[in-house]
Structure 1
Amino acid sequence: MTTTSDRIRELKTFDETKSGVKGLVDAGITKIPPFFIQPHEQGELVSLPVEIPVIDLSGANSDAALREQLVEKVKNASQTFGFFQVVNHGIPLEVLDEMLEGVKLFNEEEVEVKKKYYTRDYSSKKVIYNSNFDLYQSPAANWRDTLLITMAPEPPIPEELPAVCRDITFKYTEYIKRLGIILFELLSEALGLKPSYLTEIECNKGLNVLTHYYPPCPEPHLTVGTTKHSDPDFLTVLLQDSIGGLQVLYQNHWIDVPPVHGALVINVGDLLQLISNDKLKSVEHRVLANNIGPRVSVACFFTTHLNTNCNRLYGPIKELITEVSPPLYKETTVKDFILYYRSKGLDGRSSLDYFRL
């Protein structure tokens, strides 16, 4: 039986190596440390023929009829699954592949190189590397390492980024910003608002890039790459490699989101569910651990961050409030929402519950 003090000591020992999960794998472990062992998660892998929609964005600026059909597809996917994949999104395939390769190269650098970026102080740096942002809060650790880069509204200077992924990160995020405008226009229209509405209230003002590295795990059945959670942002654009493992919780069943080469996974975040007054759904999802990796992904979060001075209040959009659809949430700043999310960690509970009226 591991005591609380034993667990804290084990966590600190792991954390102080500053080498992450990759360091454990490099050390040749054959059994995972106890603090990675996850409690059983509810939900079964769905056996029904349910698939996350794949939406072709090539008609985004076409004639009105095609645009209307595209808005309807985005609306249905965002209300039903909270997830969809997009193709013909305007980002060249070689840029996607180079971004994934840059993340892989950074995580496979010498430990001494990566240690320069290792910290748990999210308020003072724009480039942060560590393993499990909630290492000391969550019931169990996730089998992954992360490099977080705050790219907007105030990007870091290029020299702050690791050299192996520096140029491609700046190039990739410029494409993502342009894609974000298109997606927020479609979502605005899906809510019955003018196309520029969500952009005008600065839903796309901030952009945080979370690059995840999931090393091969010797006991993948005992842990997960990422615990069940929803995202604390307005919208997430995810680039995943070919290994797979991403699953979405739908009607208490886990549905695979299979990798589609060249596609990007889009999901509604908690803050978009909050301001849409539950008209759009921020759905729980997870990533399985694997023994064949490493798996690499790049999650671009449209939201401002802790080191950004933004005091705008967000609550249910007034145009969506009626007598039969009263506001369901209290107002909050993005910073306060993220602080609450981080304080509790990935514990299986939605942060939205705290902000419900």
Structure 2
Amino acid sequence: MEDAMKVFKEFFELPFEKKSHLYNTHDENVKCKLYTSSSNYENEEIHYWRDCLIHDCTPLKESFDLWPQNPPRYREVVGEYLSQVGKLGSRILDLISEGLGLESDFFAHGYKEDFFFTVNHYPPCPDPSLTLGLPKHCDPNVITLLLQDIVPGLQVCVDNEWQLVQPCPNAFVVNMGHQMQVISNGKLKGAEHRVVTNAEKSRTTASYFVVPSKDCILEPAKALTKKDLPLYKQFRYAEFMETYKALNTQEPENLLEPYKIKKEVI
């Protein structure tokens, strides 16, 4: 974890000319790219105070050649880091299955087929009151494993109030995503979170996203709807992602609205 964070910071400290070839804000098919604010920079109304490096890591060994070559040890360090975080993610999902009363390998059936990875860098912001590092959102996937550095900035919404998540050394923040909320039939809620900026210090974080396959059918687990009625209907993950991108809303709960089962009013 320490080596990975060090190499992430080394990457963002590189001179522009050593990473400019990675900049891309328009082609979603590029497997490794660097952009500012969001991948829709040209059309967004508000720019956010971050640079983001994003790359695929499925399958891991076949993705290496697409990753940055600078710093020279980036691929070696990050490859080992992602391998270990992937194992941790699987273990956490098994424990969540046990906690929900599901079979231990429940998430092995299409719910953790893909992974992607982002490193966010938030430079010092001259006026933090003018913009955020990232706006309020909920991750669209199953779970996210977030590695923070020592500079705080992550906030989570609890009872309509924003609370700062203080960095904990040698630990990950595990975010529940929209799909976990659906699978658990609302027992586990997608975590609404955002990132605030800092006037004096830069901040770097790394997010490992556990993602269902595109054709995975999402719905509440059958074992959880024997006593309670299902809250959500069936949908394909690819269909959800089309909705997620199209709605472009800062009200995360609205993204699941099209998939809720409406109760009949008598």
TM-score, normalising length: structure 2 = 0.89
For residues 86-118 of structure 1, the C-alpha deviation after alignment (integer angstroms, 9 at most, x for no partner) is xxxxxxxxxx12211222222222223322222
For residues 276-326 of structure 1, the C-alpha deviation after alignment (integer angstroms, 9 at most, x for no partner) is 11111112011111112210000110015xxx7x4221111122113x522
Aligned to 2:104: 195
Aligned to 2:219: 315
| 1:325 match: secondary structure | coil
Match of 2:251 among 339, 348, 354: 348
Question: Is the Cα–Cα contact under 8 Å of residues 240 and 296 in structure 1 kept in the other structure?
Answer: yes
| 1:224 match: secondary structure | coil
> 5 Å matches for 1:1-357?
96-121=1-26, 123-131=28-36, 132-135=38-41, 138-153=44-59, 156-163=62-69, 164=71, 165-199=74-108, 201-304=109-212, 310-322=214-226, 325-345=228-248, 347-350=250-253, 351-357=255-261
Question: Is the Cα–Cα contact under 8 Å of residues 233 and 270 in structure 1 kept in the other structure?
Answer: yes
Distance 1:134 1:283 in 2: 23
Distance 1:347 1:138 in 2: 13
Distance 2:171 2:252 in 1: 29
User: Does 1 or 2 have the higher relative contact order (CA < 8 Å, sep 6+)?
Assistant: 1
Distance 2:217 2:29 in 1: 23
| 1:211 match: secondary structure | strand
Shift of 1:244: 0.5
TM-score, normalising length: structure 1 = 0.67
What amino acid is the match of 1:331? Answer: Q
What amino acid is the match of 2:243? Answer: Y
Shift of 1:335: 2.3
What amino acid is the match of 2:30? Answer: K
Aligned in 2, Cα 1:103/1:336: closer, same or farther, shift over 3 Å?
farther
How many residues align? The count is 256
Percent identity over the alignment is: 30
For residues 73-98 of structure 1, the C-alpha deviation after alignment (integer angstroms, 9 at most, x for no partner) is xxxxxxxxxxxxxxxxxxxxxxx122
Question: Is the Cα–Cα contact under 8 Å of residues 214 and 289 in structure 1 kept in the other structure?
Answer: yes
Shift of 1:122: 5.3
Larger radius of gyration: 1
Stretches of structure 1 that go unaligned for 5 or more consecutive residues are 1-95
Distance 1:234 1:316 in 2: 13
Shift of 1:185: 0.7
Aligned CA RMSD, in angstroms, stands at 1.9
Distance 1:274 1:175 in 2: 27
